[in-house]
A and B are shown apart, each in its own frame.
Chain A
Amino acid sequence: MRTACSQIAWGLGLMLFDFRLNNFDLLPDALGFILILIGLANQPVRQPAFGIAKIAAVILLIGAIAELAGVMPVAATIAQVNRYYSLPALLPIGLSLLGLLALLYGICEGFERTAASIGLFDSARAFRAVWNTSLAMGAVMLFVLPFSLNGWHGLVTGIAVLAGLGQFVAGIWLVMRVSRFGREYAAARAGEM
């Protein structure tokens, strides 16, 4: 469990941070999704929510590889959306946001249930809080995103930057929670024996 959690945490970290050098992403998201998939596959406890996370990670991985291969243009972040006005430019952002929310839901829900099943209720509540925060931020983004089709760029950019910051903070919180849960789970199991 500890290794699997560590893999998921690293995967989430790679997904969260973008270090670009001459437009080349030194920490490609694809690598993050692969690590998340490996971590999810190595989970000792089977949870249906982890299945949702796996499907979301596979879909996001395909998108990330297509982006790396140049099949798809480099995805604009929602904060850059004022450069785009067309529906074809906005749809991939909206869909990737939905995919990301599904991934976060699967991970948070899976760990929440796992934590609750072994009596780690504080951890369970923390995962629930991370998911609620991510959902709120994602919902705000999904709500404001289509307004850029009609020229509300100032509004979209302002709200998206704030919501994106919130989602980033929630992401770091999740990375820390998952790492810590690996240790807590190992300690709880050791205590049972």
Chain B
Amino acid sequence: MRKSYVVWIVVVLIVASWGYNLYSHQTNRLPEGRFLSHRIEATASPGDAFWLYYITNNDDKRLPLSVSIEGLSALQFYPVSEYMTFRNQRIYRLIGHFNGDSDDTPFGKAPPLTIHSVDVYYSDGTRGKADIGEMIVYRGDWASGGSISQTNSSSSSNGTQTAAFQVDKPVTLNGFSSAFLNELGSTFTYELHAGKEAVVFPQAVEADESISFISNFHVPADSQLYLQPVSMRLRLEYSDADGTERVQMIPLERQPYPSEAAIRAYVKAQRGATE
């Protein structure tokens, strides 16, 4: 009698294990692979690069083989590589890189391009447009040869990113902007100093003075923002002594580093949006 109880308990445990895991497997699946919702600023200048992140189920064989953006032939994407693995999903990423062919990046004042989707060729032979969030490509107004030159930049494991600049000739700092500053709100903080003083625009900065910039992203634990890659090109606007208006770009990256719980919440939200 005791033995039959044991056998039944074992059978129930095995059936429960398969039942729970099959249910969990089904309810933790993304309806389909997709790009994360990015916030990207890029300059259409040779050498500028950014990452695109793609999330899919672990057993999904359909991956983006190549990506292109209409009207930006100078932008090329490298093949996808694995970035992070979770219980049911994987995040892949591919780097987008502006090469030297600047046919479509005219120098001079050209309005920024706003891009929401990319053309994707998948490993199963299909093609399609895929939403990537928001990408703004600045064209032609990053004129070099100004009076400010970057001397140093660093980033630490706690997310703090710093940059330092040397002022060669007197300048007036007029403003500081990014397309995503308002959207990021309190999740992104920064400090800008000229010498030892905090900058108040407009601010005159003498030659040989240094400008320092320190920033950090503050993303609450398990927030969906963990799954939002951010690639900013902060624009420090200034004018030279002769009145020429220029922009010093400060590149900033925040790579997604989601927890298992954040991934589960993301999948749940995506499934809810699909149903």
Contacts and interface: CB of A to CB of B under 8 A. Distances in A.
Interface stretch (B21-29, B72-80, B132-140, B176-184): B21-29
A80 interface: no
B259 to A, nearest CB: 14
Given A86-B59, A87-B25, A143-B13, A150 B18 contact: no
Nearest to B61: A86
A146 B17 contact: yes
Contacts of B21: 146-147, 149-150
A136 to B, nearest CB: 9
Given A139-B14, A151-B88, A146 B58 contact: no
Contacts of A85: 58-59
Contacts of A151: 58, 85-88
B130 interface: no
B181 to A, nearest CB: 37
Contact of A143 (B14, B28, B86): B14
B10 interface: yes
A179 to B, nearest CB: 28
B10 A139 contact: yes
B261 to A, nearest CB: 14
Nearest to A89: B59
Interface in A63-92: 84-87, 89
A19 interface: no
Contact of A146 (B10, B22, B28, B87): B22
Interface in A129-162: 139, 142-144, 146-147, 149-152
Contacts of B86: 151
Interface residues of A, number: 16
- Interface of A, secondary structure class, is helix
B72 to A, nearest CB: 36
Interface string A93-106: 01000000000000
Nearest to A142: B14
B216 to A, nearest CB: 31
A167 B212 CA distance: 66
Contacts of B87: 150-152
A87 B22 contact: yes
A97 to B, nearest CB: 10
A85 B57 CA distance: 9
Interface in B11-63: 13-14, 17-18, 20-22, 24-25, 28, 58-59
A176 B88 CA distance: 43
A150 B25 contact: yes
Given A85-B58, A86-B59, A139-B10, A147 B17 contact: yes
Nearest to A132: B3
Contacts of A144: 17
Contacts of A89: 59
Interface string A101-134: 0000000000000000000000000000000000
Contact of B25 (A94, A139, A143, A149): A149
A85 B24 CA distance: 13
B58 A143 contact: no
A147 B28 CA distance: 13
B264 to A, nearest CB: 11
Contacts of B13: 139, 143
Closest 4 CB pairs of A and B: A151-B87, A146-B21, A86-B59, A85-B59
17 contacts: A84-B59, A85-B58, A87-B22, A94-B18, A139-B14, A143-B17, A146-B17, A146-B21, A146-B22, A149-B22, A150-B21, A150-B24, A150-B25, A150-B87, A150-B88, A151-B58, A151-B88
Interface of B: 10, 13-14, 17-18, 20-22, 24-25, 28, 58-59, 85-88
Given A86-B59, A150-B21, A150-B28, 19 more contacts: A84-B59, A85-B58, A85-B59, A87-B22, A87-B25, A89-B59, A139-B10, A139-B13, A139-B14, A142-B14, A143-B13, A143-B14, A147-B21, A149-B21, A149-B22, A150-B25, A150-B87, A150-B88, A151-B85
